[in-house]
């Protein structure tokens, strides 16, 4: 087997993430994590909508939003951390 025939799975994962539809990622995540995944939250992230507390909570109810917001900003992702009304 030559290097061109070898794959570490990155191509498959990249295709999954760049498919353009939230349904592909949701199907993968629900299978992998064995729990429901909020399609609307995935669609929001994929479309580049600023990250909100609601989106983060829909994807991971126990996530630390403040810590995640810091990291998202470091990566150049927009964050909307205004309090919800």
Tens of pLDDT, residue by residue over 29-67, are: 899 999 999 999 999 998 999 999 999 999 999 999 999
**pTM recorded for the entire structure:** 0.77
Residue 80 lies in a domain: no
Residue 13 lies in a domain: yes
Contact 40, 10 (CB under 8 A): no
Residue 14 lies in a domain: yes
- Give the model's pLDDT for residue 15: 76
Above pLDDT 90, what percent of the chain? 61
Higher pLDDT, 9 or 65: 65
Region 66-84 average pLDDT: 92
Contact 78, 50 (CB under 8 A): yes
Higher pLDDT, 45 or 5: 45
4 DSSP 8-state letter: G
The pair of three-digit structure tokens given for residue 79, joined into one six-digit string: 């964050």
Q: How many domains is the chain built from? A: 1
Residue 31 lies in a domain: yes
Residue numbers of the domain that contains 15: 9-74
Higher pLDDT, 85 or 19: 19
Residue 58 lies in a domain: yes
Residue 68 lies in a domain: yes
Residue 83 lies in a domain: no
């Amino acid at each position: 087997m030559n290097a061109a025939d070898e794959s570490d799975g990155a191509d498959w994962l990249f295709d999954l993430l760049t498919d353009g539809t939230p349904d592909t990622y949701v199907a993968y995540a629900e299978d992998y994590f064995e729990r429901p995944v909020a399609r609307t939250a995935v669609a929001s992230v994929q479309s580049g909508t600023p990250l909100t507390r609601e989106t983060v909570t829909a994807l991971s109810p126990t996530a630390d939003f403040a810590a995640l917001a810091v990291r998202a900003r470091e990566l150049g992702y927009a964050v909307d951390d205004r309090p919800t009304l």
